[in-house]
Structure 1
Amino acid sequence: MKRILAWIVALALLIGTGVYYYVNVDKDYVYLHEFYDFPIPKEATLESESANGNGFTWGKSTGTEVPLGYRIMIKKSGWKQVKMDGHNVIYKKDDKVINLSLANKYIGVLK
């Protein structure tokens, strides 16, 4: 009986932590209105800017894949990953497409 209770408590803590993170993940991101409200980490610093894309330096970018917390926020914002081509990930929401380019400590957002 104690073993079952311990499993229930552990499972409840795990689920509670996941729900708390999912609800509060928004606080670490801002939306780029000119890029169809695509989320960008608040910690990211604007490096370059143009009509078709923005480049940001961001310490958590490894250049190989989108970090888990960022993927959760992108998905929570309604974007779906449609293709991954090397260091580029293409997301789609309705009829809008965003190309997220990844490099070491750098992310690029292109229309």
Structure 2
Amino acid sequence: GLTLCVFTFALWTVFSYEESEKFNGFPIPKNAEVINSRKGFSSYSGLAVSETKKDGLPLIYRLHIKASGWKKTFQEGALTTYEKDNHKIDVIAETNYLSIGVNKE
């Protein structure tokens, strides 16, 4: 049990995330490389994301999102929408590419 906890904590720390002011506190991978950014939108590369995975996102990232209080409210293909405190964030996960934007609906 303890070994699993230590291992999980190590993964949690290595794959660390920071709450983004731009996206109302939505967690963004710290090691993500920004390849495009404008008001209400950013895209990143250098991440282990894939449209073939469940939700396209690594488990640790999904756990961070959930732990930050975001709830998945919609999913279709590579697009997943998360919601928290009347804020909606669209996440598009494609192979080695992640796009995050403020949902305008």
Give the TM-score taking structure 2 as reference length.
Answer: 0.81
TM-aligned CA deviation for residue 20 of structure 1 = 6.3
Give the aligned residue type for 1:95: N
Unaligned runs of 5+ in 1: 1-11
2:20 is the alignment partner of 1:32 = yes
Q: For 1:24 and 1:101, locate their aligned partners in 2 and report how far apart those are by CA, in whole Å.
A: 23
Structure number with the higher helix fraction is: 1
Give the aligned residue type for 1:25: W
1:24–1:60 Cα change, 3 Å: closer
Match of 1:73 in 2: 64
Aligned length: 98
Counterparts of residues 6-21 of structure 1 (less than 5 Å): 12-13=1-2, 17-18=4-5, 21=8
Matching residue within 102, 106, 109 for 2:97 = 106
Q: For 1:44 and 1:18, locate their aligned partners in 2 and report how far apart those are by CA, in whole Å.
A: 25
Q: What secondary structure does 2:34 align onto?
A: strand
Counterparts of residues 60-99 of structure 1 (less than 5 Å): 60-64=48-52, 65-99=56-90
Q: For 2:96 and 2:84, locate their aligned partners in 1 and report how far apart those are by CA, in whole Å.
A: 26
RMSD (CA atoms): 2.1
Indicate conservation of the 8 Å contact 1:48/1:55, yes or no. Answer: yes
Q: For 2:13 and 2:94, locate their aligned partners in 1 and report how far apart those are by CA, in whole Å.
A: 23
Give the aligned residue type for 1:96: H
Q: Identity percentage over the alignment?
A: 28
Runs ≥4 residues deviating over 6 A = none
TM-aligned CA deviation for residue 52 of structure 1 = 2.1
Unaligned runs of 5+ in 2: none
Q: What secondary structure does 1:43 align onto?
A: coil
Larger Rg: 1
Deviates more, 1:93-102 or 1:62-71: 62-71
